[in-house]
Amino acid sequence: MKFLRTEIPDVIICKPDVYGDDRGFFMETFREDKLTDFLGYKIDFCQDNESKSTFGVLRGLHYQLPPFAQTKLVRVIEGSVLDVAVDIRKDSPTFGKHVSVELTGENKKQLLIPKGFAHGFLVLSDTAQFAYKVDNYYSPEHDRGIAYDAQELNIDWKLPVDKLKLSLKDNRQLSFDEADFF
């Protein structure tokens, strides 16, 4: 497994070694020891989540406040998504900046998103099966969000607004300057 820092160094692209032949492929999707060696600290993942969505579905930008903040390790099993992580740590030199990475079932890249980031993704394929690990349980009382189209963030979602499908909750998220930060 290879680890690459993004333009926001705390957000990491994880590239598994894939062993394939005419029968298919094999890969390790997570190795605690290798990730710990790279980061210099251990993440205790406690829950796995999975979703399936259709083209144009945008989920996010979501996060949880302490003490239920979450680190996420996200990947696409099938299909393609634009995955976005926004730094919402007030004291960070990259506060308000974001990283966008295309994750696909083909490229098998994963994105490690630490605590202190809002996260969202947009489905670019007909359907996408999305899976992720978290290191803290879901807590509705600590659940927060930021509007996907917050002007301060200037996120290029790669699709016109009329193609986006959002939940009622995601259509009502706060603007960036109204959000709760870390």
Long-range CB pairs of 162-166, under 8 A, 24+ apart, other chains included: 163/55, 163/56, 164/56, 164/58, 164/122, 165/54, 165/56, 165/57, 165/58, 166/57, 166/58
Catalytic member of 98, 132, 137, 138: 132
Q: Per 3-state DSSP, what percentage of the chain is helix, strand, and coil (rounded to 5)?
A: 10, 45, 45
Q: Is 63 a catalytic residue?
A: no
Tokens of 51: 């979703």
Distance of CA 133 to the CA centre of its chain: 10
Catalytic member of 62, 63, 98, 148: 62
Q: Is 62 a catalytic residue?
A: yes
Conformation bin of residue 58: beta by default, left when phi > 0, alpha when psi is -120 to 50: beta
Positions marked active-site: 62, 132
